[in-house]
Amino acid sequence: MKSPSSLTHDPGIGSSREALHDIEICGVTIPKGTPIAIMPEVIHKNPMIWGDDADEFNPNCWDHLTGEAAGPHVFAAFLMGPRMCVARSFAMIEFKVIPIEIFSRFTFEAAYAGPVEVINPCPLLRPKGGLHVKVHKTPSEE
């Protein structure tokens, strides 16, 4: 990621930036004034960071991060720097607490077998056609 002096933020367009001067990023020259949309999903699926299986769903990939994947800026869902999401810390706590509450009270079962196709490209990871699951209360919750 380039320094904040290389890009400026347009508050009217989500996570977009504009090049303040001609700049080269990963071998691509971006002329001054070019709008740049930051798409965290592209970073999260980059095989140069995550390896050849970057498109595969593997929650265990976080257990042993090495090389580029261990860098502080590769998880870009909240962006970085002075314009990052102000609710990042709260959201990270929610990522831990909410699943514990849900999975302790409900069981989940796939409504159908087969792979889940995601909409791509997309700023957010979304399953094509939705994700259909059967939800059952655990016996202690009934």
Q: What is the pLDDT of residues 94-136, one digit of tens each?
A: 989 999 999 999 999 988 888 888 877 666 678 888 888 999 9
pTM of the model: 0.50
Measure the CA–CA gap between 111 and 114, rounded to whole angstroms.
10
Measure the CA–CA gap between 72 and 1, rounded to whole angstroms.
11
In the numeric block, which tokens belong to residue 63? 């257990």
Average pLDDT over residues 58-82: 81
Beta strand spans in the chain (E): 7-9, 16-19, 23-25, 28-30, 35-37, 106-110, 133-137
What would the pLDDT profile of 14-67 be if each residue is shown by its tens digit?
Answer: 467 788 999 898 888 999 999 888 778 788 888 888 888 888 887 787 788 888
pLDDT higher at 100 or 75: 100
